[in-house]
Amino acid sequence: MTQGKRRYTEQEKADIVDRLCMLVADGNTLTAACKEVGVSRLTVYAWRQQDASITKRLDIAWDQCLEVMADEVIEIIDKTHPGQIVTVEAGKNGKPTKTTTKISDMIEHRKLRAWGRLQLLSRISTRYGRRTVLAGDPKNPITNLNARTDYSDEQLLYLIEHGKLPDEPTEDPSP
């Protein structure tokens, strides 16, 4: 049995948008917020296209979400996260001979969590990303003198297989 499209009254729509904005502003993705509220993302996208005020409210909530994510990065970096580090030593036959367990700060785990959030933030908002602006004289534009695009098919195959080009002669070998 197929379900028809659910029609929402203006009051229901307003209540749903209010709840979505609260959830997104608290750090949830729009997908998670839609699941919590019980409305399809496609419905919300349609509402955004139909009503500029909904778009504006959700954009403001998204900006607040970015601030929450930035705060999470700071917390991840500043707060230690103790965990178990298990080291297993193998003997000559490959079977474990010694296992040691150490309680320590999970620094690599924290780095990964912070890095992932920073990557997401930098893609979503220019406020959190690194930007490099290259500018030059319009009469003398910046060029990459090392860039080469005239590789032969053989050179490209070699490059793919070996990760580098074969050594090229520095002098012309012809007499």
Has residue 19 been placed in a domain? yes
Has residue 70 been placed in a domain? yes
Residue 76 near residue 68 (C-beta atoms within 8 A): no
Task: Tell me the DSSP string of 5-52.
Answer: PPP--HHHHHHHHHHHHHHHHTT--HHHHHHHHT--HHHHHHHHHH-H
Q: Which domain holds residue 68?
A: 10-124
pLDDT for position 166 = 66
C-alpha separations of 101 from 7, 31, 104, 113 in Å: 58, 39, 10, 23
The distance of Cα 133 from the centroid of its chain, to the nearest Å, equals: 22
Provide the terminal-to-terminal Cα distance of the chain, rounded to the nearest Å.
83
Has residue 3 been placed in a domain? no
Q: Tens digit of pLDDT for each residue in 78-112?
A: 998 899 888 899 888 888 888 999 998 888 889 99
Q: Tens digit of pLDDT for each residue in 125-147?
A: 777 666 666 677 777 766 665 55
What is the pLDDT confidence band of residue 1, given thresholds at 50, 70 and 90? Answer: very low
Has residue 174 been placed in a domain? no
Residue 87 near residue 102 (C-beta atoms within 8 A): yes
Has residue 98 been placed in a domain? yes
Has residue 52 been placed in a domain? yes
Place of tokens 């406020």: 127
User: What is the CATH number for 65?
Assistant: 1.10.10.60
Residue 58's nearest CA partner among 86, 93, 83, 28 is 28
CA pair distance 15, 26, nearest whole angstrom: 17
Higher pLDDT residue, 94 or 49? 49
Has residue 130 been placed in a domain? no
Has residue 63 been placed in a domain? yes
Give, in degrees to the nearest 5, the angle at Cα 54 between 52 and 60. 105
> pTM (2 decimals)?
0.59
Residue 17 near residue 9 (C-beta atoms within 8 A): no
pLDDT of residue 73 exceeding 80, the answer is yes
- Name the token pair of 169: 């002669």
What is the pLDDT confidence band of residue 28, given thresholds at 50, 70 and 90? Answer: very high
**Which residues are registered as beta bridge partners of 104?**
83
> How many domains are contained in the chain?
1
